[in-house]
Structure 1
């Protein structure tokens, strides 16, 4: 029957029992594995103040959020990810939680997408956060735990891609650009990888933001500042020395500040060329790091920021996960802006595959959400629906051996029927009681029952297989 006006929202899913049971089994199995590493479960609200997710998440995530004003007048959002919530919880409980804190979580998140996605607009994340731990050993623990959790379900063939936002930032910072220009280049590397078209796009956007001032515009600003200075010196200003709402002296000082703050066009072009060359570097760790160091040296940069990525790889190797193929992608920055150090993604198989999990270090998030200082922290999350798609059909299946319908032979057998059903459940069978006493075989089979058990008033029974 087709219903009007009661359709499911696009991008949302309904789950029936079998898929729902399998989903719970895989989720519980992943969480059990995380618990083996000492990560305790926390749960957070589905709805939070919008500001928690916006402070360091970046514009892309903000455009995907379900945001509304609640009846109390507060702007709130359905959670698009867990990490910001977990850090908010840490800040509330900081005094009672000795570090390092190891927490895990599982639950639905919501992100709007105008088109179709593999997992819809509501999907389930399972993940963990390690708060208060610095260094490569902490990064290796989280990476190994992510790979191990997936391997525990038989996904032994994995590919882990590593990047390092902090290392790339450390290299770009040596061009002595403004923070604004440095971060602009850092988060434009994905587009710079697209060759000349990507370069043109980045330049155009930079000009819109005022980062790539043309020589003509810069010359006009300098000429105006000189003209105002000459006017002031010759006493030719207005009676009150003002231009509009500002005095000519204020206008001149403002222009001079802009000129001093503007990035050197030559340095900006050098940094842009470096960022584009670096964006194309990916592959085996040893060769990629060697090429990146050589590029840095050719630009007379200190290549030591790359050491953090090398240390993470060495620490991960101690976990002896031979089935995980490791590669480096220096363009990898993930899709949330709070990452500050090593970042990683785990893909199924050694080919293109499917991205199942991702995470990284975000040492600035605690302070950004109200903490008094930065706290080292990192974590990862996997998308449960994508993990399930990558598993064999029977992986995580906990279907009971038998599913039966229990029915009384007569009106006097109702109590015995209820007792029989309870006993069957204790034995691990799914036992549903026929509420109207009917035991139609065709109807029972259509409902998924494998047998009908007819119970007499003395408790004896007969099992009829369907």
Structure 2
């Protein structure tokens, strides 16, 4: 079969109904955990002024922008991440809300980079931030939320680890070695890529700063180089019985330039893929974007849909939890109307309308279809019940598709009766 002329662009995805169901599962889990923690939802436009992301994000991000001039002559880009957009929004509206702000967002982002496992050119992110709180308790709250998000997906202790680091420690390291301020982002990029680049490449890059690779490895090996904020975070998580999920790892610095303090990344324990989630403290970003008009310390993290889905599908318990959810929630309808007598279509449409008005999802064939085919369609739709409408109307026959049993019912009071039946454990998953 010849390939179709038009397909999704490289790095972009179509979402079939099943793919949408998986995406909705991720979104529902993210929202559920965030709301349990007292966070409220916000959103920002996917199109932003390019300068917003050039001003402070730094690193490779500026080369990955989907950037263009719009019809008004403005230099704009599709947002590559959400933190800068949030900082803009918070600077503008923070007076309207009590502090701290505990906000979350689920939205689409775009980066022009090479598509590969766990990475595309468009992706959805779960962004969770606390603004207006400078103490380590806010960082601990976010790390706890990240841990509980992983557990909500079915991951257990030992499946993943939160690697916590301290960017301020590296800024102090650079200052002690007289790294020029304008070169600090370049230096931090080298540290950020320690695990991804060959040691000889790293050593060559560090040499341009007059720093030996052994100095870096020695610094990482000594946990006392972390600030007191880390110990406060660990104590907080210990009180929640979550300290076993974190490890101090000073090799983590995060790639974006706006981070100022504690940073962290969530990895699967086997490190079989890139970070599942990551974030940290960015106390100066709101001040920078507001040109000094708003001082709002902040910390946050993001989790992308690509990597977490890959990890779910490659881990037994989370994969089974996902599949069970899809079976329970993925049905096109709960009740499928089978027309045993085409002359009764008007009556069937009346039943259909009444059931839908009562909040019961149901469907029926558009035209004349053999009864056997209608039952097949009912099963393909994932319906629990087939409701047969025939010549005996208003008497009806209800068939339980999982058990192949049937019983008689009447049109009068049907919606209430069916609602009760749908609560009983005789569906396809529980038969």
Please indicate, yes or no, whether the TM-score normalized by the shorter chain is above 0.5.
yes
Is the 2:115–2:121 contact (alpha carbons within 8 Å) kept by the matching residues of 1? Answer: no
Partner residue in 1 for 2:390: 456
Is the 2:338–2:375 contact (alpha carbons within 8 Å) kept by the matching residues of 1? Answer: no
Unaligned runs of 5+ in 2: 313-317, 405-431
Shift of 1:373: 4.7
Q: Aligned pair in 2 of structure 1 residues 366, 318: CA closer, same or farther (>3 Å)?
A: same
Counterpart CA distance in 2 for 1:45 and 1:23 is 20
Aligned match of 2:349 in 402, 414, 418? 418
**1:335 has 2:265 as partner:** no
Q: Secondary structure at the match of 2:12?
A: coil
Shift of 1:450: 5.1
Shift of 1:367: 1.8
Q: Secondary structure at the match of 1:345?
A: strand
Shift of 1:407: 4.2
What RMSD, in angstroms, separates the aligned Cα atoms of the two structures?
Answer: 2.9
Q: Aligned pair in 2 of structure 1 residues 364, 276: CA closer, same or farther (>3 Å)?
A: farther
Q: Aligned pair in 2 of structure 1 residues 17, 177: CA closer, same or farther (>3 Å)?
A: closer
Counterpart CA distance in 2 for 1:6 and 1:444 is 36
Counterpart CA distance in 1 for 2:361 and 2:19 is 16
Partner residue in 1 for 2:123: 123
Is the 1:407–1:437 contact (alpha carbons within 8 Å) kept by the matching residues of 2? Answer: no
Q: Secondary structure at the match of 2:276?
A: strand
Q: List per-residue Cα deviations over 1:281-324 (Å, max 9, x = no partner).
A: 55xxxx7314x4xxxxxxxxxxxx63333333333323211551
Partner residue in 2 for 1:392: 319
Is the 2:59–2:255 contact (alpha carbons within 8 Å) kept by the matching residues of 1? Answer: no
Aligned match of 2:215 in 277, 295, 298? 277
Specify which structure has the bigger relative contact order, considering alpha-carbon pairs within 8 angstroms and separated by 6 or more residues. 1
After superposition, residues 200-279 of structure 1 pair within 5 angstroms as 200-203=204-207, 206=208, 269=210, 272-273=211-212, 276-279=214-217
Is the 1:191–1:202 contact (alpha carbons within 8 Å) kept by the matching residues of 2? Answer: no
After superposition, residues 334-353 of structure 1 pair within 5 angstroms as 334-348=254-268, 350-353=269-272
Partner residue in 2 for 1:306: 227
Q: Secondary structure at the match of 1:187?
A: helix
After superposition, residues 37-436 of structure 1 pair within 5 angstroms as 37-157=37-157, 158-190=160-192, 194-203=198-207, 206=208, 269=210, 272-273=211-212, 276-279=214-217, 282=220, 288-290=222-224, 292=225, 306-321=227-242, 324=245, 326-348=246-268, 350-354=269-273, 355-370=275-290, 371-389=292-310, 390=312, 391-395=318-322, 396-397=325-326, 398-399=328-329, 403-410=334-341, 412-422=343-353, 424-425=355-356, 430-436=361-367
Q: May I ask how many residue pairs the two structures share in their alignment?
A: 381
Counterpart CA distance in 2 for 1:59 and 1:164 is 18
Shift of 1:87: 1.1
After superposition, residues 9-24 of structure 1 pair within 5 angstroms as 9-24=9-24
Shift of 1:453: 3.7
Counterpart CA distance in 2 for 1:175 and 1:34 is 41
Q: Aligned pair in 2 of structure 1 residues 21, 459: CA closer, same or farther (>3 Å)?
A: farther
Shift of 1:441: 3.6
Counterpart CA distance in 1 for 2:236 and 2:45 is 35
Shift of 1:185: 2.8
TM-score normalized with structure 2 length: 0.79
Q: List per-residue Cα deviations over 1:180-232 (Å, max 9, x = no partner).
A: 244433332245674343222344xx4xxxxxxxxxxxxxxxxxxxxxxxxxx
Counterpart CA distance in 2 for 1:424 and 1:67 is 49
Q: List per-residue Cα deviations over 1:23-68 (Å, max 9, x = no partner).
A: 2133112212111111100011121111222211114112222112
Unaligned runs of 5+ in 1: 207-267, 293-304
Structure 1 window deviating more from structure 2 (329-338 vs 138-147): it is 329-338
TM-score normalized with structure 1 length: 0.73
Counterpart CA distance in 2 for 1:116 and 1:182 is 29
Q: List per-residue Cα deviations over 1:232-290 (Å, max 9, x = no partner).
A: xxxxxxxxxxxxxxxxxxxxxxxxxxxxxxxxxxxx53xx13x75234655xxxx7314
Q: Secondary structure at the match of 1:188?
A: helix
